[in-house]
Chains A and B, each alone.
Chain A
Amino acid sequence: MIAIKLAFKNLLGAGLRTWLNVSVLSFAFVLIIFYNGMIEGWNRQGRNDTQDWETGQGQFWHPEYDRYDPYTIRDAHAQLSGEIAIQIKEDKLTPVLITQATAYPQGRMQGIALKGIDPQQKILKLPTSDLDNVQDEYSAIIGKRMAETTKLGVGDRVLVRWRDKNGTFDAREIKIASIFKCDVPSVDNGQMYISLNVLQKMMNLENEATLLVAGENYSGGEIKNWEFKDLQFLLADFDRLIQAKKAGGMIMEGFMLIIALLAIFDTQVLSIFRRQKEIGTYIALGLTRSQVVGLFTVEGGAHSILAALLGAAYGIPLFMYLDSIGITFGAPDMGITIAETIYPYYSLGLIITTLILVVLSATIVSYFPARKISKMNPTDALRGKLQ
């Protein structure tokens, strides 16, 4: 208790030097929380968007289906049983039929994934009801990215060629019913959505689908001949991306923290040589050497407490402001799931973890120079003789 009281007194008594160190450390502290808050905000938004637009609460895949292997698509389809039909009717599942196709926008050729989906579905955010709003039976919705790469607009027609279940090529003009905006590139890039019934008819695959998307109402349980893929599996790529970003961030945070800690280390080393007489006086007054080591260690570590308080003083209003307006990056199209505006998420766990990290590292770097005191001869210290 005495060490803490004395340490804070010494620290505040040191004036500007203390506040310079504390300012640098508080900046590191706020930056670490800010960066991690951004990543966590991105993570949460990304996961939510991916669930809302693509994965739902999980998916049942045809056993042949592999999202990374286009060659599996041709044979990855099966009949929808009565049990599945009931769940579809209750909005617990929505079926999706997938086939490879080629679009010919303005004479060019582009491979696409043609996806059949129920226009009435309510599980995914895809504006599938737009498919019902046009007279033309062969209408499609596409994402903004797809529209840009193919230079298609609403009302345009594009020739699409596909192979039915027997391998026979067929082709037809499809009218673009609407263009949607989505933060999840895998829902958008190279994807064209048409009515499920229409695609089943085009493919001669009546009442068949490649996968079933589960909604929030889905009660769970297995479905015979379909493999359930949970969110952990479906979001694995996104999770890996976030982990990579976090790891990259840690390097930046590490550098930031090292700069701040170097300032404390430097101050501690200087203190121990500059304050030799003071150290000698402490010992003469009855402190043991280990108590003096403790005092100097706490003093160095206390920089981090002051940094946390200072960081809180300007960090909390800053974070609250950023949380209310979000951080807009324009319209990045980096091929990854990222919203135009990210709302950082600062959890209590993040703040406590950062606090512990900063306090612990500041205390450790303070301890090493302070250890030298334990080897000091108090009579030399009193005379300020040590080199």
Chain B
Amino acid sequence: MDIIKINDLVKRFPVGKGHFTALNKINLSFGKGEFAGFVGPSGSGKTTLLNIIGSLDTPSEGSTIVMDKSISDLSHKQAARLRNMYIGFIFQTYNLLPVYTVFENVEFSLLLQNMSGSKRKKAVMDALEWVGLTDKIKSKPNMLSGGESQRVAIARSMVKKPEIVLADEPTANLDSKNSHHILQTMKKLNEEFNVTFIFATHDEKVMKYLNRIVTLEDGKVVSDKENKS
């Protein structure tokens, strides 16, 4: 069953008096548990597509249905709830909240879900165990290495057991060893919890791990194939 359905999606951005078409007639769908990625050169529309799936942006035309909800029709509040309950984000620059500890960063999404303290603590500790960071719970983000920071970001995205994790260039700031480490972690979580992972990347290392590669160029899907490497 598809949890993401994209039909004739067009996204335009105003530029001066005209506009720039970032995505042009995109038709895609993703099922539960996929480990897929958008690849392509800079400006091909990978991040824009990821943002629309994550309800951070809306389509100009066409429809994007995520978890049976049309992104175009969601209010700010409904979109926020969708993100909080079902979607995890991983960013290139980690985007950890600087004044919070590792534990508090991971705990943040659960606070918004009004989960009880004891349940929250268990969930956070579990998530940190998945990424191997239980010894860093009291550290602040500025005390972590790049690899550790990205593992905290993975734990933060996974702690609420989302349906979808959207990772935008998650390895761009990491060395080869750390890149493989976090990709293995994500792959393991994908298999263990059957969570759908969708990447936006142009990193060859990431592509090797993907089960499906959607190639974008100038806002259009130029290929969509299974990856058997």
Contact = CB atoms under 8 A, between A and B. Distances in A.
Given A277-B93, A379-B56, A382-B56, A286 B83 contact: yes
A287 B97 CA distance: 14
B99 A13 contact: yes
A286 B112 contact: yes
A288 B56 contact: no
Contact of A13 (B85, B98, B111): B98
Contacts of B84: 285-287
A10 interface: yes
B97 A288 contact: no
A277 B48 CA distance: 17
Interface in B73-87: 76-77, 80-81, 83-85
B138 to A, nearest CB: 14
Interface of chain B, helix or strand or loop or mixed?
helix
A281 B83 contact: no
A107 B54 CA distance: 100
5 contacts: A13-B100, A278-B95, A281-B95, A286-B112, A379-B56
A281 B97 CA distance: 8
Given A379-B51, A382-B56, A285 B100 contact: no
Nearest to A384: B93
Given A382-B56, A382-B91, A285 B109 contact: yes
Contacts, number: 63
A292 to B, nearest CB: 10
- Chain B interface extent, by class: 20 to 34
B112 A285 contact: yes
Interface in B41-68: 47-48, 51, 54, 56-57
Contacts of A277: 93, 95
A295 to B, nearest CB: 11
A144 to B, nearest CB: 63
Interface string B171-188: 000000000000000000
A283 interface: yes
Nearest to A275: B98
